[in-house]
């Protein structure tokens, strides 16, 4: 990512509503700037979709005004999952798709992110061009050239059919009882229909959005309510999505959670079994060591990207690979779609269940997660603790004790003044002790700098 950016982060522009730049006036200017830049790339038609936050109405109107002023036509999708907007951007041959969402964040936040005409995140060059255009005075197109807006009436149905098309041809979910938690977010009117139309008996929760309850004690970031519902309903499994539908967490019939690492393993193993995998599976620096070992046991290579689905995507595209994901539940199946998609990923796991005739609990047993301990250490000043001699020595000592059965990671936070100290290994007690030992060494090194 370029250091010259003022607004765009790794996943668009995001922040608290009412605090610059997440304000109506800025978003209108952003819409105008994006419209001017995108119009130079090709046709001037842009899709806008949003999640269920109350502020979505305000920002939808602001973007619409800005784009229209730039002479760009707008297609309004209404509430639509982020991956659904990426898909529809491609099928409508639009120049771009714009998502109004702060993903898994609470309702007080919102954000704007863009997809290219190919359903991928915009290139750095275009984002930088948009930022540059924001600094220009806003020139409104002549009245005859102003953009027109209309609402797409069948957006949900189009995306539902696409999701279903990624499931095994001729296969169905008959006989499966599934609890689906939509996090009171953008999938509330879509996900239950996808699974029920494929034959499942669906129990829906988190499908009553009111503008302020998105991701609140529900969904992929808070799967406890899904666990309780699966057990209470005697369901075969549960599916939890986040507010914009790009994350997936699942729960087996015992109420045990499967995170992104375990789901990625199940999909990779099924792909390898049925048709063989092309290239490596991509995880991140935070992916569990148990996933890496399990993937290598399948005869596949495993690579680690920086944390963030953007970096997984970059590594996949650079090497022409197709499958990657994060522990948090972002799973990317590029042989199916162009971005992380919670519903599509869930269908790939369900396909493995149907083909094998095995429960979710049995499918995950091929991977043993290693105990992992993460401790956040506050930084009193900007310093890369990984370069401090005392920290280097402490890391060496911990690595020596772990041997080949564990690993150590020091990762500065991208958003807060702290460093994340992570230790992973086979023995839970040892991992906890070594993580605390290393965290204390980091604190000591920081203190000695201040002195």
Query: For this structure, is 287 an active site residue?
Result: no
Of the candidates 103, 116, 225, 328, the residue annotated as catalytic is 103
Residue 40 tokens read as 């130079």
Residue 433 tokens read as 């002790």
Nearest-angstrom CA–CA distance, 403 and 329: 29
Closest CA to 424 of 399, 443, 446, 444: 399
Q: Indicate the SS3 state at residue 175.
A: coil
Residues 203, 239: contact at Cβ < 8 Å?
A: no
Nearest-angstrom CA–CA distance, 142 and 134: 20
List the beta bridge partners of residue 47.
Answer: 75, 97
Nearest-angstrom CA–CA distance, 110 and 108: 7
Closest CA to 132 of 40, 18, 19: 40
Nearest-angstrom CA–CA distance, 48 and 52: 13
Nearest-angstrom CA–CA distance, 161 and 154: 11
Closest CA to 388 of 341, 424, 442: 442
- Residues tagged active-site: 103
């Amino acid at each position: 990512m370029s250091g010259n950016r003022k607004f765009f982060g790794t996943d668009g522009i995001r922040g608290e509503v009412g605090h610059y730049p997440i304000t109506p006036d800025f978003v209108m200017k952003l819409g105008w700037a994006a419209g001017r830049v995108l119009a130079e790339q090709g046709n001037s038609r842009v899709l806008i979709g949003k999640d269920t936050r109350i502020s979505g109405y305000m920002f939808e109107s602001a973007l619409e005004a800005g784009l229209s002023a730039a002479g760009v036509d707008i297609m309004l999708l209404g509430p639509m999952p982020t991956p659904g907007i990426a898909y529809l951007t491609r099928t409508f041959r639009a120049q771009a798709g714009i998502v109004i969402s702060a993903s898994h964040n609470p309702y007080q936040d919102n954000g704007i992110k863009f997809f290219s005409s190919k359903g991928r995140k915009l290139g750095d060059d275009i984002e930088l061009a948009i930022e540059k255009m924001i600094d220009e005075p806003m020139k409104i197109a002549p009245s005859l050239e102003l953009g027109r807006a209309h609402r797409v009436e069948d957006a949900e149905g189009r995306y539902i059919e696409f999701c279903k098309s990624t499931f095994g041809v001729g296969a169905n979910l008959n006989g499966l009882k599934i609890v689906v938690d939509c996090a009171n977010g953008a999938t509330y009117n879509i996900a239950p229909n996808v699974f029920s139309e494929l034959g499942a008996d669906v129990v829906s929760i988190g499908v009553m959005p009111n503008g302020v309850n998105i991701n609140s004690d529900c969904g992929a970031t808070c799967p406890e309510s899904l666990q309780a519902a699966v057990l209470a309903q005697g369901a075969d499994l549960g599916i939890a999505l986040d507010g914009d539908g790009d994350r997936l967490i699942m729960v087996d019939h015992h109420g045990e959670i499967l995170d992104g690492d375990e789901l990625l393993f199940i999909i990779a193993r099924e792909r390898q079994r049925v048709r063989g995998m092309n290239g490596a599976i991509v995880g991140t620096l935070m992916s569990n060591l148990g996933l890496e070992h399990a993937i290598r046991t399948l005869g596949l290579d495993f690579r680690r990207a920086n944390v963030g689905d953007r970096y997984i995507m970059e590594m996949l595209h650079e090497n022409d690979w197709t499958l990657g994901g994060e522990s948090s539940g972002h799973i990317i199946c590029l042989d199916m779609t162009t971005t992380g998609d919670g519903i599509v990923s869930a269908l790939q796991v369900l396909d493995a269940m149907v083909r094998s005739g095995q429960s979710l609990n049995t499918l995950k047993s091929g991977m043993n997660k290693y105990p992992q301990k993460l401790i956040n250490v506050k930084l009193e000043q900007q310093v890369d603790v990984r370069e401090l001699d005392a920290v280097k020595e402490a890391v060496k000592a911990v690595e020596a004790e772990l041997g080949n059965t564990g690993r150590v990671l020091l990762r500065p936070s991208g958003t807060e003044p702290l460093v994340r100290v992570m230790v992973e290994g086979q023995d839970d007690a040892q991992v906890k002790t070594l993580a605390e030992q290393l965290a204390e060494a980091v604190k000591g090194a920081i203190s000695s700098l201040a002195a």
